[in-house]
């Protein structure tokens, strides 16, 4: 049965009979989880196993486990991790911060893998600005593109070392946005030269990573008429050529209010622009069916990119001791207080 070029969510902590049938028939490439899906480690492992049983293959399971404000696994069963913006302050300089970021990413990946989750939507490579909306804010590593590139690489390497795929986001840059794309359409009205000098740089430095996620942002200097996710100019000319990313490109969530039109319209526009796999997160059955109804099979270059991404999955490095790693991270956090 062909795999479809979309990722979807589910409604709660266990699959409903309808969801099991839908996953079996629609064959989404993967499942993405949120706090509504997470209760405890045993329950989460059962949920991910149930999804893979429904689709009949070892399909990817994704989550946004960034640390700070965006952490789907948390207390009492999982620890709180630092926000991206805190590392430079804790460590004092970039290379020391990179070591902490790498360590934290390995720990987070260990948590995820134990629950059957093998893709983390991290690192956030957006460059922040003083007047930008806090929707990114401390989710980013700061305002210096070179430091962001280095810390983002450390996060990606830490995840990969522990057997989890990273997803860099939000291509080609969400950090200047003055609005929350979950609620409305942001417009980043600066020149191509300014974007290239700053916003694109962390993505260029990490263009060899296996998976990226698009931004629902309009860049008038690039395409005044379409958000990045549905803009062939942004996807083909900027993300693929100028940034040089040839990995698997996911859309951000199609149900976010930055996009207009029906779910069908949004999905079709994203595929037309050059997105490889669309993402629909909220677990609404009617919307899931609408997206599935217009999603093509994963084929051609998108299929090759998906296979190449999954080929980057490796068993966790043998010498990683999560108990020792957590002690070292806690020590660094204590010293920073």
The residues annotated as belonging to the active site are: 182, 252
DSSP bridge pairs for 32: 62
**CB within 8 Å of 198: residues ≥ 6 apart:** 127, 145
DSSP-derived secondary structure for 158-204: HHHHTT-EE-EEEET--TT-SS-TTTS--B----HHHIIIIITHHHH
Strand, helix or coil for residue 206: coil
* Alpha carbon 138 to chain centroid, angstroms: 16
**Residue appearing with tokens 């999905």:** 267
Q: Tokens at residue 90, please?
A: 């804790």
Question: Which residues pair with residue 218 across a beta bridge?
Answer: 187
State the Cα–Cα distance between residues 337 and 333, nearest whole angstrom. 7
What residues form DSSP beta bridges with 8?
31, 280
Q: Please state whether beta strands 65-67 and 70-71 pair in parallel, antiparallel, or not at all (unpaired).
A: antiparallel
């Amino acid at each position: 049965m062909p795999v479809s070029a979309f990722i979807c969510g589910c409604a709660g902590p266990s699959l409903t009979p309808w969801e099991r049938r839908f996953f079996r028939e629609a064959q989404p490439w993967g499942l993405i989880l949120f706090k509504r899906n997470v209760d405890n480690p045993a329950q989460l492992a059962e949920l991910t196993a149930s999804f893979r049983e429904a689709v009949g293959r070892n399909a990817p399971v994704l989550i946004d486990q960034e640390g700070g404000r965006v952490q789907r696994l948390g207390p009492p069963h999982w620890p709180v991790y630092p926000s991206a913006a805190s590392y430079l302050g804790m460590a004092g300089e970039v290379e020391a911060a990179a070591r902490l970021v790498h360590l934290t990413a390995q720990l987070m990946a260990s948590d995820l893998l134990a629950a059957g989750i093998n893709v983390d939507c991290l690192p956030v490579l957006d460059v922040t600005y003083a007047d930008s909306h806090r929707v990114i804010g401390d989710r980013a590593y700061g305002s210096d593109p070179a430091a962001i590139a280095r810390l983002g690489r450390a996060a990606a390497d830490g995840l990969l070392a522990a057997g989890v795929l990273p997803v860099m986001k939000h291509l080609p840059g969400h950090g200047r946005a003055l609005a929350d794309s979950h609620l409305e359409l942001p417009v980043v009205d600066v020149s191509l030269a300014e974007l290239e000098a700053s916003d694109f740089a962390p993505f260029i430095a990490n263009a060899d990573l296996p998976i990226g996620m698009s931004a629902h942002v309009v860049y008038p200097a690039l395409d005044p008429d379409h958000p990045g996710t549905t803009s062939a100019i942004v996807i083909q000319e900027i993300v693929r050529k100028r940034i040089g990313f040839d990995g698997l490109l996911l859309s951000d969530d199609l149900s976010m209010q930055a996009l207009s039109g029906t779910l069908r319209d949004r999905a079709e526009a994203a595929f037309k622009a050059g997105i490889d796999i669309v993402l629909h997160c909220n677990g609404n059955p009617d919307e899931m069916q609408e997206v599935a109804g217009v999603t093509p099979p994963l084929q051609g270059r998108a299929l090759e990119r998906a296979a190449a991404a999954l080929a980057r999955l490796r068993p966790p490095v043998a010498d990683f001791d999560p108990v020792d790693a957590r002690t070292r991270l806690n020590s660094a956090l204590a010293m920073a207080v």
